[in-house]
Amino acid sequence: MNAAQSQAPVFSIPVENARDFACNNLLIDDFPLSLAQTRDKSVMAKLTEQASLFFVDMIPEIKRQLDNPFVGIVAIDVPQVFDDATVDAIVGSLIAVSLTQAIMPSLPDRENNTPFSIFTASKDNSKKQDHVGIRGLSPTDVLDFHSDGAITNGKLSVPDYISIFNVFINYRDRGNFYWVPTCTIQSLSQIVEKVGLSQEYCFSLTPAVYDNGQSSVKIVDRRARAAIFTRAPDGSITTFMNGTFEGHADTGTDQAKDITTEIKGAIAANPVRYLIPQESRRLIILNNANGFHARDIFENPMEGYAVTRTYLRSASISGKVVGRIIEG
């Protein structure tokens, strides 16, 4: 990558602040709430309200950076609060989930009904995914620049915000997360002109994979018909790019390759690019409707850990419908 790269805004929750929040809201008789309890709407509403109060000093600035079209991404570090590693991992995750909900109320996970989806990568399930030929999901794959989609009732939307919280990354070389704000892409207007606003294209979406801890991984494979560029009510352009691009929905696939190459080339060569080093206990929130993200692969797994990475991902309820599912 050879664009000029700027470090994205990184916030740190002060340790005292995190401890106060945890002691007041996350412990019952010295035991932390479980992550599963966040599916209870009244529990989550209380945690969200408390997070809005405890983290009131940082939330307005986080929102300001996220809604600045020239920035659109932030990282927030969650400090260690307790000595016990397991308790601390749960508490750290609950702090991240509560803060996320105070910033971007999220769609419930389809399977668990929690306001986040949890993904666990292990040497074992990376092997299973390799075996069924899935790319882009195990931690050692290279991800291209893309935006994330969400599916509700057969409709495909671009969630306004996405959050990713790395509970832990057991790799020595963790690389960076990258972000390119749409409005900084100089050739965008020419590309939009060529591709068209609200013109539908076909995509094979990056499959969702659920590891249920059993011998097989559950794979959800979908095809969608969606617009790459849509004019949002506020005048900004919502972008969607995910999975394998198959071409214009009505005129066939002839120009598919050229358009994808041109858009991805323009993003990769963009003079403005933000980066965030990928670290455990780091929450990343991005304005998914206004930019594209990618990340480095993880390398050199640490010895002695069966689980190589656990992360939580949330997609905001607010979003823009850009298409529909046609298969899967």
Please say which residue, 9 or 243, places its beta carbon nearer to Fe ion: 243
CB of 293 to Fe ion, least distance (A): 6
Please say which residue, 55 or 311, places its beta carbon nearer to Fe ion: 311
**What is the DSSP code string of 31-94?**
EEPPGGGGGSHHHHHHHHHHHHHHTTTTHHHHHHHHT-TT--EEEEEPPP--SSHHHHHHHHHH
CB of 114 to Fe ion, least distance (A): 19
CB 185 within 8 A of CB 72: no
Please say which residue, 48 or 100, places its beta carbon nearer to Fe ion: 100
Distance of CA 186 to the CA centre of its chain: 25
CA distance 327 to 325: 6
Using alpha carbons, list the distances in angstroms from residue 257 to 193, 246, 261. Answer: 17, 8, 6
Please say which residue, 21 or 298, places its beta carbon nearer to Fe ion: 298
CB of 20 to Fe ion, least distance (A): 33
Please say which residue, 109 or 148, places its beta carbon nearer to Fe ion: 148
Which residue lies nearest Fe ion, judged by its C-beta?
A: 148
Q: Is 212 helix (H, G, I), strand (E, B) or coil?
A: coil
Q: Between residue 176 and residue 195, which ones bind Fe ion under the rule CB under 5 A?
A: none
CB 271 within 8 A of CB 4: yes
Please say which residue, 40 or 221, places its beta carbon nearer to Fe ion: 221
Q: Between residue 136 and residue 155, which ones bind Fe ion under the rule CB under 5 A?
A: 148
Phi, psi of 199 (to 5 degrees): -85, 130
CB 242 within 8 A of CB 203: yes
CB of 313 to Fe ion, least distance (A): 8
> Does 160 sit near Fe ion (CB under 5 A)?
no
* Element at 130 (helix H, strand E): helix 123-131
Q: Between residue 246 and residue 265, which ones bind Fe ion under the rule CB under 5 A?
A: none
Please say which residue, 148 or 160, places its beta carbon nearer to Fe ion: 148
CB 242 within 8 A of CB 252: no
CB of 294 to Fe ion, least distance (A): 8
CB of 110 to Fe ion, least distance (A): 17
For Fe ion, the binding residues (CB under 5 A) are: 148
